[in-house]
Chain A
C-alpha cells in the first residue's frame, strides 16, 4: 500500500514537472530565427537595444538575443563561441579578437564619450574641466575618492589608460581613495554616488541613469575620452555553431544607412546618446 501511494505521489510530481516545463512556454529555440549578440551593459542600460532591435526584427524577421555583460566578459564568451555577433567598445581587445581568428572583421559602428561625474562638493576642484589627465592628477593629489569599475570592461580599460597617461600608480591607492567595485557601470554609479566618489562613465549610461542624486558631470569634452563601439561577426571557421548568415545580416544592417539613422534617432530626454560613424558604403 505504501508503495502504491508513493508511486502515485511520484507520478503526480513528474506530471507537475512536465506541465511546468511545457506550459506557458513562450520560447521554442529550435525553429525560430534568432542570433545571440554578446554586448555591453552600456548599450543595454541606455535603452539603445530596446530601440534598435524591434526595427531590425520588423525588417528581417530575425530576433536578436542580447547578453549584456562587461566588454571583457563579452569577448571571452564570444571567444568560446557563445554568440554570433560581438558588439563592444574596446578597440585594441576587439582587434586582438579578430587577429586570433575568433572574429571575421571589425567595423566601426558609433561613438559616444566618457565623462567624469562628481559630487557638488567637488573635493578635487575639477568641475568644468575639459582636461581629463589634469583632472585625474588633481583627484590623486587630493586623494579624493574615485570609484572604478575594476572589471576589465571597455570603460575600465579606457580609465586605466588615462591613469597611465597621467603617470599615476593607482595600484598603490587601491582600497584607499581608489576603489574598485568589480561591477557593471550602473552598480558602480550606485556605489560611487553613495560614497561621494568621482566616477568615470560613458555618457549614454549617465544620461539614462535613474539614481543620479545631486551628482553632475565634472569633466567632459576631452578627445582622450572618445568611446568607439565596434561590431564583429564571430568566425564560423573557428566556431562551427555560429549562424554566419543571420549574424552578417545584423552586422550589415547596423552599419547600413538605415541602421546608422536608427542609432542617431535614439534620444533620452531629448539628448542623442550615440553618434553613428560607420564608414559610408560599408
Chain B
C-alpha cells in the first residue's frame, strides 16, 4: 500500500504538471457546478425574494416546501431526471442523457431550493426593517424586490456559496444522469467514486483533497471579490 502523503503529492503533481485528464475532469466539475449554481440563482434569488417580501395566501406552505426541498436526496433527483431524459421518457428526443447538460439540469434542481429557501429568509428579515420606509416612499413592488436583493447582496453571496458547496460535492445525481463516461461526463466526485471502487483508496482520497482545495479557492475568490466591492463602494 502506497503511503498517503506520496499519493497526495502525486495528485498535486498531476495538476501542477498540467495532466490533461485531471485538468479536463476539474474543468468539467467547475463548468457543471458553476452553470448549475448560476441558473439556480437566476431562478432562486427572485423566487426567494418574492416569497420573502410579499404576503399572499399559501405563503406558509410555500416556505415549508422550499425549506423541505433543501433536503432533496441527490439519488432521487438523478433518478427522476434520468426517467425524464431517457429515450423511453418524455424528454428522450432531446438526446440529453449522458451529457454535461443533463448533469447541469440535475444539479440545478438540487441547488435551486437551497438558494430560494435561504434567500427567502434573508429577504424576509431585511424586509421587516425596510417595510415602513418602502411604504412612506411609495416604492412599487418590483423596485422593492430589486432594492432588497441589492442591499442583501453580500448575504446572498454566501447563499450562492452554500449552493455551490452542495453541487460540487454531489455524486449521486450526476453519476446516474451523466454515466461517469470517461472524457465526456466524468467529474471529480464520480472519479473519486470510481477510484474507490477500484480499491485505489489513496488516489481517491488525494482527489478528495484536491476537490476540497478547489472549493477553498472558489470561496476565497468570491470573498476577495466581495471585499474589493465593499472597498470600492466606500471609496
Contacts and interface: CB of A to CB of B under 8 A. Distances in A.
A117 to B, nearest CB: 12
B228 interface: no
Interface string A134-177: 00000000000000000000000000000000000000000000
Given A81-B88, A241-B87, A21 B31 contact: yes
B69 interface: no
A67 B150 CA distance: 44
B150 A6 contact: yes
B143 A212 contact: no
Interface stretch (B55-63, B94-102, B121-129, B208-216): B94-102
Contact of B31 (A6, A24, A77): A24
A66 interface: yes
A186 B199 contact: yes
Nearest to A50: B182
User: B interface, by DSSP: helix, strand, loop or mixed?
Assistant: helix
B38 A20 contact: yes
Contact of B196 (A23, A27, A187): A187
- Contact count band on A: 35 or more
B42 interface: yes
A186 B198 contact: yes
Q: Which of B27, B95, B146 has the most CB of A within 10 A?
A: B146
B170 interface: no
Contacts of A211: 1, 199-201
A24 B198 CA distance: 29
Contact of A25 (B31, B38, B88, B181): B31
Contacts of B97: 82
Contacts of A23: 31
A206 B24 CA distance: 29
A66 B181 contact: yes
Interface in B188-225: 194, 196-201
A3 B183 contact: no
B182 A13 contact: no
B186 to A, nearest CB: 10
Q: Which of A3, A10, A210 has the most CB of B within 10 A?
A: A210
User: A interface, by DSSP: helix, strand, loop or mixed?
Assistant: helix
A20 B31 contact: yes
A29 interface: yes
B149 interface: yes
A215 B135 CA distance: 74
Interface string B8-27: 00000000000000001001
A81 B86 contact: yes
A187 B201 CA distance: 11
Interface string A194-230: 0000000000000011111000000000000000000
A68 interface: yes
A121 interface: no
Contacts of B88: 80-82
B179 A65 contact: yes
A21 B100 CA distance: 9
A203 B42 CA distance: 50
Contact of B87 (A10, A26, A82): A82
22 contacts: A2-B143, A3-B143, A5-B146, A13-B41, A13-B42, A14-B38, A14-B42, A21-B31, A21-B104, A50-B182, A65-B181, A65-B182, A66-B181, A67-B181, A80-B89, A81-B86, A81-B87, A82-B87, A82-B88, A208-B198, A210-B199, A210-B200
A-B interface, 5 closest residue pairs, ranked by CB to CB distance from nearest: A186-B197, A81-B87, A211-B199, A67-B179, A210-B199
Given A16-B38, A36-B179, A82-B88, 14 more contacts: A3-B142, A5-B146, A17-B34, A17-B35, A21-B104, A25-B31, A27-B100, A44-B194, A67-B179, A68-B180, A82-B98, A184-B197, A209-B199, A210-B201
